[in-house]
Amino acid sequence: MIPELGNFAVMLALCLAVLQVIIPMVGSYTNNTLWMSLARPLSSGLWVFMVLSFSCLAYSFLHDDFSVAYIARNSNTLLPVYYKFAAVWGAHEGSLLLWILILSTWGYAVSLLSRNLPLDMLARVLSVMGMITAGFLVFLLFTSNPFDRLLLNTPSEGTDLNPLLQDFGLTVHPPFLYMGYVGFSVAFSFAIAALLTGRLDAAWARWTRPWTNAAWAFLTVGIALGSWWAYYELGWGGWWFWDPVENVSFMPWLVGTALIHSLAVTEKRGVFKSWTVLLAIAAFSLSLLGAFIVRSGLITSVHAFAVDPERGLVLLALLLLIIGSSLFLYALRAPVVSGTSNYGGYSREVFLLINNIILVVATATILLGTLYPLITEALYGEANKYSVGPPYFNIVFLPLMSLLAVCLSFGTFTRWKKTSPALLWQKVGKLAFVSIALGIVIPLIVTAEVNMGAMFALVLAIWIVLCIGKDILDKTANKADRLSGLRGLGLSYYGMQLAHFGFAVVICGICLTSNYSVEEDVRMAKGESITIGKYEFRFEGVVERPGPNYTANSATIQVMKNGENYLTMHPEKRFYSARGDVQTEADIQVGFFRDLFTALGDPRGDDEWVVRIHVKPFVFWIWFGAFLMAAGGVTAILDRRYRSRKVVRSDIPATDANGSLRPALES
């Protein structure tokens, strides 16, 4: 009964979504206030029914209703309750339901939080979001319904959740990732609504900014969680593999980052408008492309969902419809909304433009690398199977990111319109020398060896951090006292600097880990030990240990630090009986400056095991930095100006030196 209720709720949600598409949109063109104001109640109704259907599926999971095909495939009576709930989004159908629930949640949030939005704009935004929701609901109902029943031969036991997913990191990773992916639908809908009205001004950019920041922050956390999960759950000790599925989550993030910076220019200076709109469309389109690639099984990937060509085709049609129509609309309307303004060669506009170009180029290269196997297969036939490996991505991506890091500080130091090169040099010259000196000297003192990669990265990170400090000091220098100066800077400024600081931390984490990690795969018998740096790892043998839905080979590794007992680690090899899967469970001691990573490999010979032992300095900084970046995004949202009820149409200076700035175009 409950699954039918859930199914029914999805159908009702589809009906409401269709109404949400039509009524407010028609109302906005006929100036019918009543029809336009229906957008709000419709979006809340849609949300209520999505919550209801999601709850029904969760309820059925918790009560082990194996007559539902999806539950029979992804749950088991022995599964701990917590994972039964997380199993709701453990495979294709349920995760799609979560995806749509989150989409409707964003729509509901827009209807709640946009009280200062003109009614016709709100009506169009919610109508566009309704279109996307309706499209995905149709896809869910007709190709991948999680409520489908196995009524004739109901199994008495489910086949269990994939053991890789039975883990805290992965239960929270998809919701965050989807919040990010789907969150870009808000920026997308604002862009489409703005194209429809032709009202693409500073106010539009200001409405869009907090939503974009929010989606970006969620996506940042989502990607970081995924990478963290890969690090400790896959048992490889790696945290990024340039796997197609990782790439498709990374591309919307890069374009979203470009969008955040471009929106700043559009809001403050009224330029880059069509470019900003294009980025908003691109960010969401790449999110959809990601969904398509992951769910169609087009690309061989370590975590591709079930392969089903029919689903893939429907999803491709949906993707082409959304991207195609939005680009068509863009082609028709973009010339209408362009605006011009002047800025000099050393202005903040130029450095933000450089930021945008680097990020978009980086996205394009990743897209090329990800789709390359598909392209060659289509061009030269199936016999030519190429795969693009990490070397390609590292060679292309790392120089681009280094350039980005160098330019970042110039972007924060320069002023809008024009900055004199002499002033700029006066500000950064000393800092550049200091960061180069520190970046070279610190690793030399600590490790007493020359490591170009680590030094280069450290120079970049120190450069960013020093420039942040200098900028804050400069900005508060003329105030009566520092404290009131610091208070006056505004949360969006602190958000920006926090995110940039996070970027520096990530650079440190990635490069120091890559260059200084010690990774040993050794064959060990009981009592043998290996020494890495000041740590000695002694293998004390393997015992069998039962778990709730698995049995484990649990190893004991005694770690000594400087000759004294430090800690005992228990990496495991688990055997999940329901599926017959084997799963490596690494044991990691997380530290702020270094992680100790141990994983149990396979048995060799009579009494020996292969053991993987890594000492990874600064690896924690990768995720810590990502968290700081997300926190920066959230801090910027909290800025007072986004909450002001007053609608300011345009606060762009009316004219500049040449008097050539046109006011933002109104419809």
Binding site for other proteins (CB under 8 A): 162, 164, 235, 300, 302-303, 307, 340, 342-345, 350, 353-354, 357-358, 361, 364-365, 368-369, 372, 382-396, 399-400, 521-523, 573, 579-584, 599, 601-602, 604-605, 610, 612, 658, 660
**In the complex, least distance from residue 368 CB atom to other proteins, rounded to whole angstroms:** 7
DSSP state for residue 628 in the 8-state scheme: H
Nearest C-alpha neighbor of 253 from the set 100, 362, 390, 99: 362
If the CB atoms of residues 394 and 484 are measured against other proteins, the closer one turns out to be: 394
If the CB atoms of residues 561 and 662 are measured against other proteins, the closer one turns out to be: 662
Give the integer Cα–Cα distance in Å for 412 and 352: 9
Nearest C-alpha neighbor of 501 from the set 592, 624, 629: 629
Count the alpha carbons within 13 Å of 644 in the hemisphere toward its beta carbon: 9
Please provide residue 556's backbone torsions phi and psi, each rounded to the nearest 5 degrees: -120, 125
**In the complex, least distance from residue 456 CB atom to other proteins, rounded to whole angstroms:** 17
If the CB atoms of residues 474 and 520 are measured against other proteins, the closer one turns out to be: 520
Instruction: State the CB neighbour count (10 A cutoff) for residue 509.
Output: 24
If the CB atoms of residues 418 and 641 are measured against other proteins, the closer one turns out to be: 418
If the CB atoms of residues 345 and 527 are measured against other proteins, the closer one turns out to be: 345
**In the complex, least distance from residue 319 CB atom to other proteins, rounded to whole angstroms:** 21
Q: Evaluate whether 621 touches 509 at the Cβ level (below 8 Å).
A: yes
**In the complex, least distance from residue 483 CB atom to other proteins, rounded to whole angstroms:** 40
Structure tokens at 367: 């897209």
If the CB atoms of residues 120 and 243 are measured against other proteins, the closer one turns out to be: 243
526: left (phi over 0), alpha (psi -120 to 50) or beta: beta
**In the complex, least distance from residue 163 CB atom to other proteins, rounded to whole angstroms:** 9
**In the complex, least distance from residue 340 CB atom to other proteins, rounded to whole angstroms:** 7
Instruction: State the CB neighbour count (10 A cutoff) for residue 477.
Output: 9
**In the complex, least distance from residue 574 CB atom to other proteins, rounded to whole angstroms:** 9
Give the integer Cα–Cα distance in Å for 65 and 77: 10
**In the complex, least distance from residue 583 CB atom to other proteins, rounded to whole angstroms:** 6
DSSP string, 392-416: HHHHHHHHHHHHHHHHHHHHHHSPS
Please provide residue 172's backbone torsions phi and psi, each rounded to the nearest 5 degrees: -95, -15
Structure tokens at 630: 């997300």
If the CB atoms of residues 382 and 544 are measured against other proteins, the closer one turns out to be: 382
Give the integer Cα–Cα distance in Å for 109 and 103: 10
If the CB atoms of residues 75 and 162 are measured against other proteins, the closer one turns out to be: 162
Q: What is the dihedral of CA 554, 229, 629, 101, to 10 degrees?
A: -130
**In the complex, least distance from residue 316 CB atom to other proteins, rounded to whole angstroms:** 18
If the CB atoms of residues 153 and 658 are measured against other proteins, the closer one turns out to be: 658
Pairing between β-strand 594-604 and β-strand 587-589 as defined by DSSP bridges: antiparallel
Q: Give all strands of the β-sheet with 518-525 in edge-to-edge order.
A: 518-525, 608-617, 594-604, 587-589
